[in-house]
């Protein structure tokens, strides 16, 4: 069974972070994982080169004390019910510190929201989250649409989007592990990537249906090769939109996707990681390509 022993939750005290906290608390509680809250104070680059000159007009120590005080209050309010909670303070670039800590301490899962706000929330992934998604070696659990009112985290249905490459064997096994851990139903989805306007053209629609039948056969063969027996689904259309539509239709609670890492070839689905997260109606776990 999959084990989540160490979870990292970067805390920046933003509204998105505060709304995401109940999700982190619920997952840490259900898995019994050791949770680390990482708070980073980002300072201007010139502070490192000329700290004395910089502190002459900015109270750095005061900022640190204020941030530490807010962080401790947040920790007590949201995570006092957990036994295994560590809190760490760092200075510097937030994304870099997150990645360094995750690698050094063998973190199994990073949990963090995106930072989109207001009407542009569906179009924006914060720069820190984007960097972590791009470079992290471990799975990243995120969400673009966290409700303002905390809700009970339900994980009864997990949708795993795959692109039928051999690298998806690890992704499927990881999803199966999540399903066993949370006692969830699992559905595997493959999207035949075509323009959705093709469906209204008879000749092109026949061609797309042929692609769908081929994908169904390949998906069944992949499932047989890894000895996994789960629900299979093939859709056609634009990838992120098709994943979103299937998640809504099936009432999925979590989407699992693969994501590429620097220096490795990306499948079509992996190259749309950001778009899938932005479009997703639920939380998303993205797993590195060679997991």
**pLDDT reported for residue 244:** 94
Mean per-residue pLDDT over the chain, rounded: 79
Instruction: Please return the burial class of 148, using the count of CB atoms within 10 Å of its CB with bins 0-12, 13-18 and 19+.
Output: exposed
Class of the domain covering 1-143 = alpha beta
**pLDDT reported for residue 196:** 58
Which residue in 42, 50, 241 sits closest to 128, CA to CA?
42
Percent of the chain with pLDDT over 70: 72
Give every residue of the chain whose pLDDT is below 50, as ranges: 53, 116-124, 261-269
The Cα-based distances of 207 to 198, 199, 213, 289 in angstroms read 9, 10, 10, 29
Percent of the chain with pLDDT over 90: 35
**pLDDT reported for residue 110:** 97
SS3 107: coil
**pLDDT reported for residue 289:** 64
Q: Which helix (H) or strand (E) holds 9?
A: strand 6-11
**Terminal alpha carbon distance of the chain:** 15
Q: Quick: pLDDT tens for 209-242.
A: 666 677 777 777 777 666 666 788 888 788 899 9
The CATH 3.40.50.620 domain(s) of the chain lie at: 1-143, 154-291
* pTM (2 d.p.): 0.83
Q: Quick: pLDDT tens for 112-122.
A: 988 644 333 34
Spell out the residues 6+ positions from residue 276 whose beta carbon is closer than 8 angstroms to its own.
Answer: 161, 239, 240, 243, 244, 255, 257, 269, 284
Q: In which residue are the tokens 């160490």 written?
A: 6
d(CA 23, CA 139): 16
Instruction: Please return the burial class of 67, using the count of CB atoms within 10 Å of its CB with bins 0-12, 13-18 and 19+.
Output: middle
CB 261 within 8 A of CB 289: yes
**pLDDT reported for residue 210:** 67
SS3 177: helix
Class of the domain covering 154-291 = alpha beta
**pLDDT reported for residue 291:** 53
């Amino acid at each position: 069974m999959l084990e989540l022993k160490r979870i990292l939750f970067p805390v920046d005290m933003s509204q998105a972070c505060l709304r995401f906290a109940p999700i982190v608390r619920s997952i840490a509680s259900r898995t019994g994982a050791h949770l680390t809250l990482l708070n980073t104070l980002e300072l201007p680059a010139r502070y490192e080169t000329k700290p004395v000159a910089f502190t002459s007009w900015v109270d750095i120590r005061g900022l640190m004390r204020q941030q530490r005080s807010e962080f401790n209050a947040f920790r007590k309010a949201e995570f006092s019910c957990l036994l295994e909670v560590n809190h760490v303070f760092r200075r510097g670039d937030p994304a870099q510190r997150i990645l360094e800590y995750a690698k050094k301490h063998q973190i199994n899962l990073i949990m963090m929201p995106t930072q989109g706000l207001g009407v542009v929330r569906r179009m924006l992934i914060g720069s820190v989250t984007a960097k972590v998604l791009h470079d992290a070696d471990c799975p990243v659990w995120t969400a673009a649409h966290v409700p303002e009112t905390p809700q009970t985290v339900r994980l009864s249905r997990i949708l795993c989007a795959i692109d039928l490459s051999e690298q998806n064997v690890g992704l499927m096994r990881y999803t199966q592990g999540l399903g066993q851990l949370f006692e969830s139903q699992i559905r595997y989805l493959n999207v035949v990537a075509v323009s959705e306007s093709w469906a209204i053209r008879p000749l092109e629609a026949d061609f797309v249906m042929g692609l769908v039948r081929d994908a169904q056969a390949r998906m069944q063969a992949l499932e047989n090769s890894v000895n996994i027996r789960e629900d299979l689904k093939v859709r056609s259309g634009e990838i992120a939109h098709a994943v979103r539509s299937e998640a809504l239709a099936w009432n999925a609670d979590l989407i699992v996707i693969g994501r590429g890492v620097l220096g490795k070839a990306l499948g079509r689905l992996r190259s749309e990681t950001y778009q899938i997260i932005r479009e997703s109606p639920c939380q998303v776990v993205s797993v590195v390509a060679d997991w």
